[in-house]
Amino acid sequence: MARSRLLPDNFTLALVATVALASVLPASGAVGAFFEKATVAVVALLFFMHGAKLSREAVLAGLGHWRLHVLVVASTFALFPLLGWGLRPVLQPLVTPELYMGVLFLCVLPATVQSAIAFTAVARGNMAAAICSASASTLLGIVITPLLVGLVLPHTGTAQQDILGSIGRIMLQLLLPFVAGHLLRPWIGGFIARHAAALKFVDQGSVLLVVYTAFSAAVVAGLWRQLPLPALAGLLVVCAVILGAALTATTWLARRLGFSKEDEITIVFCGSKKSLVSGVPMAKVLFASQAAGAIVLPLMVFHQMQLMVCAVLAQRYARRDGV
């Protein structure tokens, strides 16, 4: 029997299991130091693979649709931060200050690549534009996200004070492997395509390792002793409100500005999603190790919520015009 689209996927279940493992058996001391170093290597491998998978032809095909790309970038890096700040007086009392820092952090992250493109395909949207927008968002986020962290979280004590240094570290750990993978695509692109199923485990395993390392440091620092259960319940409400507001705003703007239905689908799915794959490594660079666990927890909740909601929304789009 097929699994319901409302149930978590295997990767989400693995994320939950990883958090549980880090809560019971956190890596500390010499083991923790080893995992910290290992995460640098696996994150570099992760972005190297993403660069190798990016098709230059698909990017060039979507580049000309500049109005759509401007709206997606504005939604990702302007609308979301404004929602996080504007709703803060209402939403922050529902969670702890540390969790709301994580909410603000997710608001300044780039969009997803894989799931945004996948949902656009299911909904019969503009695929070329989706590939271009989602990929551009990831690359722009390497520079824009640290700058926005400095603006949105200037006095938290966890964000790195040297913003230029943070950008440099992110470019070294994320952008350089990405560019290297893309430049090597003519030689390794075929191998990546042929072994996509197997390499997916490397992709997801990288994220799981980073999550385990981040939560281990947070647990050792007393994460779960500082997070009451009502705050975790409140986090579900906070993420639902922000996701609902983003979906509503992107849909309204796309229609108000006269975009076609195919372009609207691309704008909604690329402009309302946030990247767990990019966000977790960035949190490790931008925040102290013991704070990163609480910072990425809202992102993990938001990630699953956006997948569930967008799966239903994509099916509704796909059934338009009686198809």
Question: For every one of its 323 residues, what pLDDT tens digit does the chain have, with 9 covering 90 and above?
Answer: 555 555 666 777 887 888 889 889 988 888 888 887 887 788 788 778 877 876 776 666 666 788 999 999 999 999 999 999 999 999 999 998 889 999 999 999 999 877 787 788 888 888 778 878 887 888 888 889 988 988 887 655 444 445 667 677 777 777 788 788 888 988 998 888 888 777 777 767 777 887 788 778 778 877 777 678 888 899 999 999 999 999 999 999 999 999 999 999 999 999 999 988 788 888 877 887 667 777 888 988 898 788 878 888 988 898 876 54
CB 108 within 8 A of CB 142: no
> Distance from first CA to last CA of the chain, Å, rounded?
24
CA distance 292 to 215: 7
Is there a domain that residue 48 lies in? Answer: yes
Is there a domain that residue 10 lies in? Answer: no
Is there a domain that residue 303 lies in? Answer: yes
CA distance 153 to 105: 8
Q: 185: number of CA atoms within 13 Å, CB side?
A: 16
Is there a domain that residue 15 lies in? Answer: no
CA distance 162 to 168: 10
- Domain range for 74 is 24-317
> What's the full length of the chain, in residues?
323
pLDDT at site 3? 56
From 205, 168, 167, select the one nearest 49 (Cα to Cα): 205
- pTM of the complete model: 0.78
Q: What is the CATH number of the domain that holds 167?
A: 1.20.1530.20
pLDDT at site 265? 95
Is there a domain that residue 293 lies in? Answer: yes
Is there a domain that residue 232 lies in? Answer: yes
CA distance 279 to 243: 17
Instruction: Enter the DSSP assignment of 320.
Output: G
- Residue 280 tokens read as 């977790």
Is there a domain that residue 217 lies in? Answer: yes
CB 173 within 8 A of CB 37: no
Is there a domain that residue 177 lies in? Answer: yes
Count: domains in the chain: 1
